[in-house]
Structure 1
């Protein structure tokens, strides 16, 4: 994506919908140029085009979250994929950072087997040439487009993987990553139990939120990929817990 496309996406995410003429005025380019950028964003399923207007797809919550803070999430995914080696098998849970990670795996043309309970991710990265994609069955949650429940849990227990990647909804002062959906919590805990290493991908704003349920203790996490706005105290506490904290510069995509 170009710098201008990141700016366009940020404006649409902030306002919900923006007129093409307004975008051209703000960014100082022609409407023809804006339309070409919007075509590119729509092809990535990040926005929806209407007559003279660009907007978020309000009927698709996953796409909305993918568009929000897209630059930061993409930088996180680009850094995290560097640690995935050819021939590995990884599990990936649902979420916008995880979706972008799966996309980066495919872009890197790595011979990686991806196991996921996210119908959205499996569809988003097809055709994944050179990669094997295994979708775990189970009860479908329609809003996030994931499978959950006892069938999914049993399916996940058939696999042992190198790495498991997951997003989170928040973090507590006593060192627990949190989530907001009890069914998703069960799925994530099960998948983490089948992996040698559990890795969290999330933007820094999640560290000022509290989810409803304790998900995983920081002591069980191998690594965290986030942006450089994570509070220093939390960063230091996580490192003391043995977490390898990787932060990405929110402007330039450089790690610290």
Structure 2
């Protein structure tokens, strides 16, 4: 086997399992452990993995918390497309929860400018002013301690309020999605607790996420992908991501 072929297979194993071990690769490819270490060093120099004691792990980006004003402006066109897909799922009579997410802000704008007759519940503080001129939406605002990073209210009071409701549809954003561990992440414990509760209290929970988030991890895992009725994202996903979501029986919109 040529070196390039071995490197490609190592990357395939990494993509599937998230980590590799030198000894196991040596036995698999029938080459010395020193040769495998050279392979891993080369792939590390290419930026695709991080070597560890006895092996290597997939090199994934790590999300940093940023203010809502910054996040709202990033990937604007993509977020509007995702919001439009989510908007089409909402029907009259629904009880909908929008948690603190930049995509949910654009979803809220679509709802505010529509004639849909729903009950909308949110802990995102910048959403209520959008409804000043809307006569058809019953808007319920969750109280709590304001967090300027998330753009919403969090903490024990918010959790207590959210826990009293059941939602037909809950729309949740994420700082990162790991298809190796099937986990969905956010940047803070408080935000994660709120998102986790929204998912559990929703008859249908939808994950709104840009395709780039599938290559990012963050601090707090608040859900597994299997807990969502569907993932709503960009159309231009790689075949690998589509395959992994299909294996998990996660619907893709």
Asked if these proteins are the same fold (TM beyond 0.5), I'd say yes
> CA RMSD of the aligned region, Å?
1.6
Does residue 206 (structure 1) correspond to residue 213 (structure 2)? The answer is: yes
Displacement of 1:199: 0.2
CA distance in 2: counterparts of 1:129 and 1:67, whole angstroms: 28
Task: Report matched runs for 1:162-173 at 5 Å.
Answer: 162-172=168-178, 173=180
Change (3 A) 1:108 1:239: farther
Provide the residue aligned with 2:181 in structure 1.
174
Provide the residue aligned with 1:216 in structure 2.
223
CA distance in 2: counterparts of 1:126 and 1:230, whole angstroms: 37
Query: Which fold has the larger relative contact order, with Cα–Cα distance below 8 Å and residues 6 or more apart in sequence?
Result: 2
CA distance in 2: counterparts of 1:211 and 1:141, whole angstroms: 18
Displacement of 1:96: 1.3
Change (3 A) 1:108 1:97: same
Question: Deviations 1:44-65 (Å, cap 9, x if unpaired)?
Answer: xxxxxxxxxxxxxxxx932332
Displacement of 1:163: 0.6
Provide the residue aligned with 1:159 in structure 2.
165
Displacement of 1:156: 0.7
Q: Aligned to 1:120, what secondary structure does the other structure show?
A: coil
Task: Report matched runs for 1:117-136 at 5 Å.
Answer: 117-136=123-142
CA distance in 1: counterparts of 2:153 and 2:69, whole angstroms: 18
Aligned length: 187
CA distance in 2: counterparts of 1:128 and 1:166, whole angstroms: 23
Tell whether the 8 Å contact from 1:85 to 1:110 is kept in structure 2 after alignment.
yes
CA distance in 2: counterparts of 1:229 and 1:209, whole angstroms: 17
Displacement of 1:234: 2.1
Gaps of 5+ in 1: 1-59, 247-256
Displacement of 1:106: 1.9
Provide the residue aligned with 1:80 in structure 2.
86
Tell whether the 8 Å contact from 1:171 to 1:208 is kept in structure 2 after alignment.
yes
Task: Report matched runs for 1:187-202 at 5 Å.
Answer: 187-202=194-209
Provide the residue aligned with 1:114 in structure 2.
120
Gaps of 5+ in 2: 1-65
Does residue 150 (structure 1) correspond to residue 150 (structure 2)? The answer is: no
